[in-house]
Each structure stands twice: as structure tokens, then as C-alpha cells.
């Protein structure tokens, strides 16, 4: 029997609590980080590389609310590389 998408998602949420921390705390911190990043910008429109930075900030929130999981660090490095490619500063 195949697991439903909803059942799989429910199991993932429970598992993510171990590495991401409480989802309400995480989402609150992420929203604060994103708001600060957007407010500090000098252009009203987000650019493609900004999406990468916002994803890095979400990973930082997950580490702060959860733990320093290696997967978060790998993802941050990946998002940083993608931002560099989008801005033409990749090596």
C-alpha cells in the first residue's frame, strides 16, 4: 500500500522538528530575517539572487531554532554558489 502525500508530509514535519526546531518559532524568525533583508535593500524589487539569499536566511533560522545539521550547511553553500552564478561572481 502506498503512503498518501498527506501522511508522508505529516511524518516529514515530525522528523524536521528534530533538525529545524519548532515550526512556529522557525517561521517567525524566518519572517523577521526576510523582512530585515528586504527592508535593507536599495531596490523595491527582489532579484533572482535575492531568492538564494532568502533561502540562506531560512537555513540560518532553521539552525538557530533547531540544530547545526550538516545538511543546512551544505544547502547554504549551494545557495551561495547559485547566488554567485546569478551575479556573475562564481569562480
pLDDT tens figures, 41-81: 877 799 999 999 999 999 999 999 998 989 999 999 999 99
**How many C-beta atoms lie closer than 10 Å to residue 32's C-beta?**
12
pLDDT tier, 91 (very low <50, low <70, confident <90, very high otherwise): low
Full-model pTM: 0.86
Question: Alpha-carbon distance 5 to 73, whole Å?
Answer: 27
Residue 89 has pLDDT above 90, yes or no: no
Q: Could you give the CA distance from residue 56 to residue 77 in angstroms, rounded to a whole number? A: 9
Amino acid at each position: 500500500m502506498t503512503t498518501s502525500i498527506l501522511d508522508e508530509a505529516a511524518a516529514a514535519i515530525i522528523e524536521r522538528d528534530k533538525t529545524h526546531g519548532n515550526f512556529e518559532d522557525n517561521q517567525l524568525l524566518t519572517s523577521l530575517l526576510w523582512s530585515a533583508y528586504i527592508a535593507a535593500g536599495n531596490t523595491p524589487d527582489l532579484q533572482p539572487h535575492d531568492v538564494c539569499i532568502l533561502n540562506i536566511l531560512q537555513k540560518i533560522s532553521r539552525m538557530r531554532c533547531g540544530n547545526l545539521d550538516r545538511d543546512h550547511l551544505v544547502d547554504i553553500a549551494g545557495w551561495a554558489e547559485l547566488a554567485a552564478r546569478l551575479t556573475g561572481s562564481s569562480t
